[in-house]
Amino acid sequence: MRFPYGIADFRKICEGDYFYVDRTDRIPLIEDAGSQLLFLRPRRFGKSLWLSTLENYYDLARADDFEPLFGGLKIGQNPTPLRNHYFVMRWDFSAVDPGGNLNAIRRSLFNHVNVRIKDAIARYGDWLDGRVEVNPDDGLASLQSLLSAVSRTPHKLYLLVDEYDNFANEVMISPLRDAGRYEELVEGEGIIKTLFKVIKSGASGGGIDRVFLTGVSPVVLSDITSGYNVAEDLSNDPDYHDLCGFTEPELRAALDAVATARRLEADQAAIALDLMRDFYNGYRFSSQRDERVYNPTLALYFLKHLGRHGAYPPRLLDDNLAMDRNRIQYVARLPHGEALVNRALDPATPLTVAQLVNRFGVRDMLTAPRTPDFLATLLYYFGVLTLAGRDALGKLVLTIPNQVIRKLYVERLQEQVLPDYTNQEQRQAVVERFYATGDLDSLCDFLEQTYFKIFDNRDLRWSNELVVKTAFLVTLFNDAFYLMDSEPALGRGYGDLLLRVRPDMRQYALLDHLLEFKTLSPKAVGLTSAELVTTTREALRTLPAVADALRDAQVQLARYRQTLEAAGGPLKLHTHAVVCIGLERLVFTDMSDCC
């Protein structure tokens, strides 16, 4: 089995006999949904492949290829009357350079449009009625000339636009971009707004019959307002929840096939699926669908490596997704964004919104948000939060979808609070000792001397216990060795932080760890802040309030241990009760028995 990692060409996938998840049964639904459609998904989520599928299905110049390409797919058994019925033109705005001044951007955009028009002339010359004038200095005039020729034929144009919001994305993820320049592109008679006005006009009897736009967020459509206010948004429609992305049964079948081909042991496919579920699953794009989908790029990255080498990839984060950390950083730089981004790491109090905000522009982002819903919605569109049901009030709950995305949050915070090489070197030394021995002394010393002071100075103490859990999570996070689970459900309770060794790393000297945290104020233990700093950890442990808190945590840990033992599976579990006093001192007890 061949896996098309990095391939977004439908024809190449079909002709190369690559793994392909068939979504062509959605084509009739999309035809019925409307003639001008918008479909938003996070980066690297298969949008370009879907546009390539539509391109091959509707292109009248490819009618002879229909049977070999679609005959074995769902739509091939019952094609719609519109198959191979259109002139198809596809634009990809990610190919348009957003750098330079306005004239440079205009030139890059016109060059792209003109290249695609020339391609259409070469492909459809036998059908077009009349000469199409390609103006090298005015791509809009070229487009109008093409539409005029199309209007004189029995056929119409289907326009596919990929990465329609690329200009806004570049403004958002790069602090070096000029937001004012972007506003000039979309406001007034800005070139992007004017381009979409031409598309809108062409779709009103001017040669364009259908338009399908893909992107990450609704920002550009909000900014151009009346320039293109006719698109229907399919992004949260339950019928298209898994249009891009893989379901668990589909991945299970692929893993079983790889296991058979590579002669892997019987349980290897099941273990691999567990790993992929933790790292790649979790996306939900409709509140009316409970099923979650896997990021297709990450899943193909994993499957390709497993199929080629018979082993899991050593790095479970595809580097192509690493740039999404810039999007988290962008939101953190917005007014009130820092606190919201850091709160996202706490599953005990997840972010909620009354509803997703679907109309906001770049100007809204650069000024103080009107509601917290705005910032949380932005993280949702970026794919670093996803839907997780509704709370008791009916508000939408947003959560980090999986380990890969959690790592992006953690790395951002690590770089923020420990930017120096020396601090990172010290962190690595103390956490590796903890992984192998369970030693908390040096780890707690490190946290007291670094993280707590930085959290306090940056006013990041959202709540005492959250700061403690976040400090440990950020310090200990290592997806090369562990599955990190904050607030894991254990029986009728929730643990604070579970580090479970990855199944493919169990042959090494790594322990499983479960930590339970309690917090106390200096006043509760009867000490001033000055006394707290000078008192030894051993003496703090004997204070009645501290001893009681440690005892309560130990009772919880014993109950959680029973749950983990009952679940079975190999564990070398060390449990740790940790009490934090005044965000100054850490006191702990260990229960080192293994199960």
DSSP run (H or E) holding 587:
strand 585-591
For the record, the structure tokens of 224 come out as: 């151009």
Who's near 447: CB < 8 A, 6+ residues apart?
A: 471, 472, 475, 586
DSSP 302-329: HHHHHHHHSS--S--S-GGGTTHHHHHH
pLDDT, averaged in runs of 10, over the chain (595 residues): 94 96 97 96 94 98 97 96 98 88 90 97 92 95 96 96 86 62 79 93 94 93 83 95 96 94 86 91 93 94 93 76 78 83 84 88 68 87 94 94 90 84 90 95 92 59 70 90 88 90 90 94 90 93 96 95 84 94 90 53
The helix-helix angle for 102-124 and 191-202 (nearest 10°) equals 30
- For residue 140, what are the CA distances in angstroms to 64, 117, 132, 159, 196? 32, 11, 13, 14, 10
DSSP helix, strand, coil percent of the chain (3-state; round to 5): 50, 15, 35
For the chain, domains (ranges, CATH) are 25-217 (3.40.50), 248-321 (no CATH), 418-595 (no CATH)
SS3 298: helix
Strand order in the sheet with 157-162: 87-92, 157-162, 208-215, 36-40, 232-233
pLDDT of residue 518: 94
pTM: 0.90
Contact status, residue 31 vs residue 82, Cβ threshold 8 Å:
yes
How far is the C-alpha of 47 from the C-alpha of 40, rounded, in Å? Answer: 8
Contact status, residue 109 vs residue 186, Cβ threshold 8 Å:
no
**Residue spans of beta strands (DSSP E) within 222-346:** 232-233
How far is the C-alpha of 285 from the C-alpha of 111, rounded, in Å? Answer: 35
DSSP structural state of residue 294? B
For the record, the structure tokens of 515 come out as: 């930590």
For the record, the structure tokens of 427 come out as: 């962190």
How far is the C-alpha of 51 from the C-alpha of 90, rounded, in Å? Answer: 8
**Longest Cα–Cα distance in the chain:** 92
Q: Sign of the CA dihedral 420, 422, 426, 431? A: positive
The helix-helix angle for 139-151 and 191-202 (nearest 10°) equals 0
For the record, the structure tokens of 569 come out as: 């599976």
* Closest to 395 measured CA to CA, from 352, 360, 429: 352
Contact status, residue 125 vs residue 150, Cβ threshold 8 Å:
no
How far is the C-alpha of 47 from the C-alpha of 41, rounded, in Å? Answer: 7
Half-sphere exposure for 300 (CA within 13 Å, toward CB): 21
DSSP 460-513: --S-HHHHHHHHHHHHH--TTTEEEEES-EETTEE-SEEEEE-GGGTTSS--EE
Provide the CA 214 distance to its chain's centre, in angstroms.
16
Contact status, residue 588 vs residue 440, Cβ threshold 8 Å:
yes
Strands 351-353 and 208-215: unpaired
